[in-house]
Structure 1
């Protein structure tokens, strides 16, 4: 609810997303090795993690610890993968990404398929079960 004298908040962009992981090494292999994200410096927090650059957005990984809650994401049985929690990243060519994922032995859990508005999309899981959409125009 806004008042006539208060301007609404204006979100400019997504700065980062944070996910909790069980293994920084396995997650590094996925985010840097499979998806090609650049690992970037991370401040000296009192807990372990990694940061990756994805265009103008960062992906922050936090190693599972008592204050982070459990790693991973559970997709309820019978759910439509594309209609549950996920991160989406634009890539140059979703079909080329599919071919590369196949070469690397990374299972595509949904797609590739064309969205009603045109882009081609596909979905993979990171090592902790976080759903990742890759799409291209």
Structure 2
């Protein structure tokens, strides 16, 4: 049997073995495998073209070597995808008071501090923004561009993901800091939630996996 040493031969043999598995029924002898491959290739060559040296059609070999087409989006052809939420914003009356709660009770790490904004890393995958209420009502202009105005009022709600085995630890920690557990819920998929308030009255939720189809 001719021996192949090129990258092409690796693809050829991969297709041969795949065909052996697909065309050798359970309980058949190994001798039946090559015969089935030969019959399969003969039938395929009659439809798609000539056989190459390994018994594979040139057309099927070209298909195996070809890389999948890249996804090209145009405004008319496809809907672009949203990957995830990067930033979540809360608006507070006193940045220092809010910072003391989030840094000392929840132990989140500050990434940015300005006169009107504190930014915190949440699990290495998202950012919590605390804005001084009323200070972002005007557009922020810089040489790099413009951020349009925004603001919020009243008690808002955000949810933090936590491990199921750490939920009781969180409850103990909150009790030690005098933070009341305002509510709790067990979900149909098995997840659990604890509810608490930050100093500005925003409703915070600590949620373990088993709530949504994605979490």
Q: TM-score, normalised to structure 1's length?
A: 0.77
CA distance in 1 between partners of 2:77 and 2:120 (Å): 36
Q: Which residue of 1 aligns with 2:192?
A: 120
Q: Residues 22 and 71 of structure 1 are in contact (CA less than 8 Å); yes or no, is this contact kept in structure 2?
A: no
Deviation above 3 Å: which 4+ runs of structure 1?
68-72
Q: CA deviation at 1:102?
A: 0.6
Name the Cα RMSD after superposition.
2.2
Q: CA deviation at 1:72?
A: 3.8
CA distance in 2 between partners of 1:33 and 1:71 (Å): 24
Could you tell me which of 183, 200, 203 is aligned with 1:131? 203
Q: Residues 94 and 136 of structure 1 are in contact (CA less than 8 Å); yes or no, is this contact kept in structure 2?
A: yes
- Is 1:53 paired with 2:121? yes
Q: CA deviation at 1:41?
A: 2.3
3-state SS in 2 of match to 1:62: strand
Could you tell me which of 61, 78, 81 is aligned with 1:7? 78
Cα displacement string for residues 81-106 of structure 1 (whole angstroms, at most 9, x for unaligned residues): xxxx5211112311110111011000
> Which has the higher mean CA deviation after the structures are superposed, 11-20 or 64-73?
64-73
Q: Residues 90 and 152 of structure 2 are in contact (CA less than 8 Å); yes or no, is this contact kept in structure 1?
A: no
Q: Which has the larger radius of gyration?
A: 2
- Is 1:62 paired with 2:128? no
Cα displacement string for residues 34-81 of structure 1 (whole angstroms, at most 9, x for unaligned residues): 111111025x6xx611000102010001101262545441xxxxxxxx
Q: Unaligned 5+ residue runs, structure 1?
A: 74-84
Q: Which residue of 1 aligns with 2:112?
A: 41
- Cα separation, partners in 2 of 1:129 and 1:11, compared to 1, 3 Å: same
Q: Unaligned 5+ residue runs, structure 2?
A: 1-74, 138-149, 210-215
- Is 1:96 paired with 2:169? yes
Higher relative contact order (CA 8 A, sep 6+): 1
Q: CA deviation at 1:7?
A: 1.5
- Cα separation, partners in 2 of 1:72 and 1:28, compared to 1, 3 Å: farther
Higher relative helix content: 2
> Which has the higher mean CA deviation after the structures are superposed, 4-13 or 127-136?
4-13
